[in-house]
Each structure stands twice: as structure tokens, then as C-alpha cells.
Structure 1
């Protein structure tokens, strides 16, 4: 695999950590920038740094704080100066760590915090990192003979199937469902704006399926075995999708859901 510069937002654990592991293991020349709120306390990322000292960089970034996003973008602009892939993967179910099961459990505070983390954060990330994506080298994606399909870089927002309005029957989880539905709309908007001009960026929302992670662990009892994916399986599927994205597929998140 070619190298490329990748930034994984919210990379301290779960699938986002596995993104870092997968890219470092499969793309020997890749440079990975992993962000999280407290890098010094992220033991798994610190251990990964020891394994890949020249390929992995840690940056402090709280996606709910615009000033920190801007500061991180300025650091990346200095070195390496561009991005080939941005993965917005930080997310939360709810500040209480459990989704609302009924309207009486909804609070303005819970809605605000969840939306700030899952929706506003990725959109503000796009605001500050889009100029660096437009300078990408095309390391993620093929060089197409058809100019209309070519792109410089890829922006991926991790979404969730429970954010689908059409595929909805159970109810509940107001904050999380709303945040992911709004994220899908933001991604569609981004695909239009960043698809203009000569330096195009593919934007897509990808659903990793249900995995055995901290976020979904309390809700796995009723998940069919064939719909419960290991982190490695989900990441392999997602990276296969990312590698084959082109401008014609940009914004078509509905066709790339897993499970």
C-alpha cells in the first residue's frame, strides 16, 4: 500500500484505535496523526507510539472546543502540511453512558453535549482541516482516467444505522439518533462543497456495524451473532470502502452501510 497522511480524531480507544493500528500495520510509509482529549493518559496510543515511533504522532484535541481544533490544524499545516485521509470517529452515546429509552429521560443538557460531540465536532473539524485535505496527494484512492472521478483526499465521518429516519422502528436514543442523522446531512453538504473546483475531496458517512466496543457493549444481548462484528472485521470492511471511493460515490453514505 502507498503511504499517505491520516488523521484519526478521537483515537484513544474502540474502533478509532483500531483504525490507527490497521493503517500503521498495512501502510508502512503512512504517517498517522492520532488525536484525543488526553494523550498522556491514552495508554494504548502511547504503546502504539513505541511500536511506530516514526509513523505515529499524538495531538491533544477536544472536538467540542473549536480553539483546540484550530490549534491542531495549525500544527499539521506546519508539518506534514497536508492530509490524505481524515477520519472523524470520536463519538458518545449520551453523557450518562446510556441512551434515553423514553421522552421523560430527554434533557437539554444531554442533547447539547451529544450533538456537540457527534455532530458539531466533525463539522468544525472539516472547517479547519479542509484546506489541508485539498492539498492531499491522492494516496487513498486510485488515479482514474476519468477526471471527474479523481480526488485529492478523503473525509470520513463515522455514522450509525440508528441515525436512519427510513430504517426506524424501535424509538428511543433521541440524542444519539438525532446526532447521527444530523451528521449524515452535514456530510452530504460537505460532499457538495468540497466536490467543487480542481482540488476535490471525497466525503462520506460510513457505518461500521455493531461491534463489541465500550459504546455498544451494554446493548449486545439482542444482537444476532451474524450482525455482531469484531473490530478487525469492521475496520477491514471500512478501509476497503475508503480505498475504492471516488467523486461519483462522494456523499452516497446510504450505499455503504455495514450490517
Structure 2
């Protein structure tokens, strides 16, 4: 039995993923990493490298369940007039650069001669081709960049780990602190509990093959266009 890793394990979706994985009894150890626990900080490259070194591998599942949408009075930008350099950079730092460095340091831990999966939570809103409304500049752009990094990583991973899958996941709108200010307009039946989201995401991952590596999948298994 190989191990599993959840990064962002103190968040709503991350904690639900941990519970589901531990209940499954499919993994030797389920490692839980989060900034609040002091075990990883996606804004600190040395922290990411150290966390990977402590775990050591082999790992058959790693999920980056982190994200930043609003912080300290900053909210998604509705127009060009609201763009601020520091807030844009902050969104990229957490939503793109941090997960990219996780891919760098945790990919070498993936099992080489067995199925293995590494996934990052992204968002449908990061799809450039699906953008019909505009706005939310920083979050859209950061998630679009993450999707491209996942695609590149999948191509590289396939060269040495033929059974590996590397994907981005859209969990839908989930009752967490990230979505809390924006839940009012969610259609009935489309606001998910963290446990529901975790169960659906794990079911999607279980159904993927290496041929689908590099893609973006929604909670219901739908493939999302880049």
C-alpha cells in the first residue's frame, strides 16, 4: 500500500478529502499538510521542498486542495479599474506558483511502476474558452495559468511514469470560507457540502486513465475545455 497526501488539509474540501481517504483504507498513510498546522506553506518554496522530503514516497495519490479568492478586504475584480498589482501577484502566488512548486517537489514521490495520481483543485472559471461574463480577472487568470502548468506537467510525467495521471479538478461551488461571500446567487442544488464534493472528486479520479492526463475535469466527470 502506497501513501496519499492532501495539501490544504485544514480547508473544507481538504479536510473532507482526508476523512474519505482514511475511511477507504486504501493507503498506508494519509499525510495531511496545511499552513495552519505548520507542515507546509505554499508561499514558501523551502517549506514545500521540506514537506516532500519528509514524506519521501512512494505516493499513489497527491491532491492540492488549496485556493485563494478573497483576502483582507480584497475581492474578485469586476472591472479593469479595480486591478491592483499586489493583489494580482498574491492570487498568482497562492493559486498558481504554490501548486506548481508542489508538482515540482511531489511528482518525484509518485510510484513509478504502479498507478499514481496527482491533482490540483482549479476552477471552471479558469477556462478561457468558457469565459462569457468577464470579470474576476486575477482568479480567472491564475487558475488558467494553473491549468497550463498541469498540462505541461502531465506531458513530462508521462515520460517516466507511464501509469500516472496529472489533472486539474473543478469541485463546483462548495460551502467553504472561499465561496462564502458568493453563495447567494448559487442555483438550488448546486451548493455542495465539502463531503459531497470530496466524494465526487475522488470518484472522478478513480475513473481516470493516463490517456486523460493533463485535462481539467469537473466534479461530475465533465471534461472542461481549457
**Conserved 8 A contact 2:13-2:198:** yes
When Rg is computed on C-alpha atoms for both structures, the one with the higher figure is 1
Paired residues of 2:68 and 2:91 also in contact (CA < 8 A): yes
Q: SS at 1:194's partner residue?
A: helix
TM superposition score normalised by structure 2: 0.90
Aligned pairs, how many? 221
1:64 matches 2:27:
no
For the Cα contact (< 8 Å) 1:207–1:257, is it kept in 2? no
4+ long deviations beyond 4 Å: none
For 1:207 and 1:236, how far apart are their aligned partners in 2?
13
Residue aligning to 1:8: 6
Are the equivalent residues in 1 in contact too, given 2:3–2:27 (CA < 8 A)?
no
Query: Secondary structure, in 3 states, of the residue corresponding to 2:168?
Result: strand
> Please, which runs of 5 or more residues in structure 1 have no aligned partner?
40-58, 139-151
Other structure's SS at 2:158 match? coil
Q: CA RMSD in A?
A: 2.0
**Aligned residue runs from structure 1 range 83-232, under 5 A:** 83-95=59-71, 96-135=73-112, 138=114, 152-232=115-195
Partner of 2:196: 233
CA distance in 1, matches of 2:217, 2:16: 23
Partner of 2:21: 23
Alignment match, 2:52: 73
Cα deviation, 1:39-74, whole Å, max 9, x if unaligned, reads 1xxxxxxxxxxxxxxxxxxx6110111111111111
Using CA pairs under 8 Å that are at least 6 residues apart, name the structure with larger relative contact order, 1 or 2: 2
Residues 254 and 31 (structure 1 numbering): CA distance in 2 closer, same or farther, change over 3 Å? closer
Cα 1:35/1:195, change in 2 over 3 Å:
same
Q: Distance in 2 between matches of 1:224 and 1:155?
A: 31
CA contact (8 A) 1:94 1:175 kept: no
**Unmatched segments (≥5 aa) in structure 2:** none
Q: 1:84, CA displacement in angstroms?
A: 0.9
Deviation at 1:170, TM superposition (A): 2.1
Aligned match of 1:51: none
Task: Report the CA distance shift for 1:29/1:127 in structure 2 as closer, same or farther (over 3 A).
Answer: closer
Distance 2:213 2:144 in 1: 17
Instruction: Specify the SS of the correspondent of 1:225.
Output: coil
Give how far 1:200 is off.
Answer: 4.2
Aligned partner of 1:32 in structure 2 is 30
Cα contact 1:191–1:251 (8 A) shared by 2: yes
After TM superposition, the score normalised by the length of structure 1 is: 0.79
